[in-house]
Structures are given as structure tokens and as C-alpha cells.
């Protein structure tokens, strides 16, 4: 904070600080407070709001627990989001390491551009492109059938496979760049010293690279998990009834059923689980908020 005032002067610094506080208050804190309030109130017609029936209750949360279908979708969404996070980490770790420690000059620049340029396209269009690739008569199935690897097309859409692929691709940058940012600051001499001492590649990564990149891994996992758990576009386009996401249930409560109180309870339950995941990741990687902020 002192550095901000020193660099920009008191007027600019106070304006920036006030703008940030207003944005956080009106765009984050206030909507969340309203959602919590809605979640503990019954769904009533406008004429009864504020009357004797308008009291705080746990009925909306009890509905989530009592509805076995919605409860199953809820836990499946959490588990699937964790799986997407693990898959994204497995795919992005070698890419980030290559960018930070191996690629040089133009090769590194071209790789970064290749990662960024596809994301200039809207997420809906990118997801629909995967729908065309993975559909029953899409490019991937046609190639597999043409090569004689399968007898008939595989149903990637209307299942979890297509959703997983689409999510890993959709949020790849949110995993790559935190990892890259952490690995870039690693002194290459440490890797060379470990290699000279006879350490294997696996041991170098386990004892040198991964401990140094823990904040980046934590940030990437948190961002990927949060985005995966809260997405609605990817499961709607690449999934089906068997791969329904909890956000689709929330959407139905708000806009199809018109029950904002029940939808708020479902949304707040998802938020609580996401916060628990963040705390677990910070505990697992032994990082603090200050480490993540770097």
C-alpha cells in the first residue's frame, strides 16, 4: 500500500483504493449477502413477503439433502471438478516447465502465442468446436473409423468424457500461467546441480521443481476447480442428462422454476464447498494467501 502511494501520489492512490473497495462491495460482497439472505427464506408470493410466514428457515437446504437426485449431482460435480483439476495439472505441468526452463527466445514466444490465440474466441464457440470434433459423426470419430481403430463411432457427447475434455481445454490457461509464473523464478543452476549429482528426472521434479512451484500449483488448482464447478456452458453443450452439472440445477431453480430462494440455497452450498476446497489446497501445499498473491 505504501508503495502505491509513493509511486502514484495520494490522489491517484486514494482513487484506485476507493474504486477497488466499491467494486468489491457492490459486485462481490453485497450480492453474496443477498444470496445468503434469500437462501434462508421461504419462497413466497410478493403479497406475503415481510409477513408472518417470511421467517428464516433451513427448509431450502433440507430440500437439497432430501432430493437424492440433486444431492447426487452436487457431489458428482464436486468430484468431477476435482478430476478436471487433476487432469489439467497433468497436461499443463510439462507445458509450463518447458516454457519456463527449456524454451528460449522465439520458440517460447510462439508457444505462448499458440496458447493464447485460441482464447481470443468466445468460450461458447470454442466449446461448440469441441462438440463438432467429438460428436458421433465428428472429426475424431471419423478419423478413428477411417484408421480402422474402431468399428463404430464412440459416443463422447452425452457423457462425462466430452465434458472433461472440454473443461480441461477451456481452463488450460488458468493452470499453465500460474505454474509458469512460479517455475520461471526457479534458478536453473539448481536443476543442473541436481542432475550433476545423479538425480533422475523424476527426482529433480519431485525434490526441486515441485516444492518451488507449490504456490503456482495451488493457484492453478484453485482457479481451475472454481471455474469447473461453476461452469454451465461446457456441460450444456458437451454433456447430457447423464452428465448434468450442479450449476444447471441452480439455473433451473432460478430461471425455469422461478424459485430464487431454493436456487440461492443451492448456489450457497456450492460456494461453501468451493471455499473448503481452497482451504484444503492451501493446507495441502502449505501456502498462505501471501504466497498465492505472489
Task: Please tell me the predicted confidence (pLDDT) of residue 93.
Answer: 94
Question: For 106, phi and psi rounded to 5 degrees?
Answer: -65, -35
- Ordered by start, the domain boundaries in the chain are 68-293
What is the pTM (predicted TM-score) of this model?
Answer: 0.84
Q: How far is CA 65 from CA 69, 70, 73, 226, in A?
A: 9, 8, 11, 22
- In whole angstroms, give the CA distance from residue 56 to residue 36: 11
Q: How far is CA 252 from CA 20, 31, 45, 194, 260, in A?
A: 33, 19, 19, 55, 10
Task: Please tell me the predicted confidence (pLDDT) of residue 91.
Answer: 93
Ranges under pLDDT 50 in the chain: none
Architecture of domain 68-293: Orthogonal Bundle (1.10)
Residue pLDDT, tens place only, 27-85: 888 988 988 988 998 888 877 777 787 888 888 899 888 889 899 999 999 999 999 99
Amino acid at each position: 500500500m505504501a508503495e502505491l502511494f509513493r509511486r502514484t501520489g495520494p490522489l491517484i492512490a486514494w482513487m484506485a483504493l476507493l474504486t477497488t473497495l466499491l467494486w468489491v462491495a457492490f459486485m462481490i460482497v453485497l450480492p453474496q449477502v443477498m444470496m445468503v439472505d434469500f437462501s434462508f427464506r421461504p419462497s413466497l408470493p410478493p403479497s406475503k413477503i415481510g409477513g408472518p410466514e417470511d421467517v428464516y428457515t433451513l427448509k431450502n437446504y433440507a430440500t437439497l439433502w432430501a432430493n437424492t437426485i440433486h444431492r447426487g449431482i452436487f457431489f458428482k460435480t464436486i468430484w468431477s471438478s476435482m478430476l478436471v483439476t487433476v487432469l489439467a495439472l497433468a497436461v499443463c505441468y510439462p507445458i509450463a516447465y518447458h516454457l519456463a526452463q527449456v524454451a528460449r527466445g522465439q520458440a517460447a514466444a510462439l508457444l505462448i502465442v499458440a496458447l493464447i490465440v485460441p482464447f481470443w474466441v468466445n468460450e461458447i464457440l470454442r466449446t461448440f468446436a469441441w462438440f463438432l470434433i467429438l460428436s458421433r459423426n465428428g472429426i475424431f470419430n471419423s478419423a478413428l473409423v477411417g484408421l480402422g481403430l474402431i468399428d463404430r463411432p464412440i459416443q463422447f457427447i452425452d457423457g462425462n468424457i466430452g465434458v472433461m475434455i472440454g473443461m480441461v481445454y477451456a481452463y488450460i490457461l488458468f493452470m499453465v500461467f500460474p505454474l509458469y509464473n512460479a517455475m520461471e523464478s526457479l534458478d536453473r543452476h539448481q536443476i543442473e546441480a541436481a542432475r550433476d549429482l545423479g538425480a533422475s528426472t523424476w527426482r529433480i521434479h519431485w525434490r526441486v521443481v515441485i516444492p518451488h512451484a507449490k504456490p503456482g500449483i495451488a493457484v492453478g488448482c484453485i482457479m481451475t476447480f472454481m471455474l469447473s464447478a461453476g461452469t454451465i456452458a461446457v456441460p450444456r453443450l458437451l454433456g447430457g442428462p447423464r452428465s448434468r452439472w450442479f450449476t444447471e440445477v441452480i439455473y433451473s431453480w432460478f430461471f425455469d422454476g422461478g424459485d430464487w430462494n431454493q436456487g440461492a440455497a443451492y448456489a450457497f452450498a456450492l460456494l461453501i464447498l468451493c471455499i473448503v476446497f481452497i482451504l484444503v489446497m492451501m493446507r495441502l501445499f502449505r501456502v498462505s494467501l501471501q504466497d498465492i498473491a505472489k
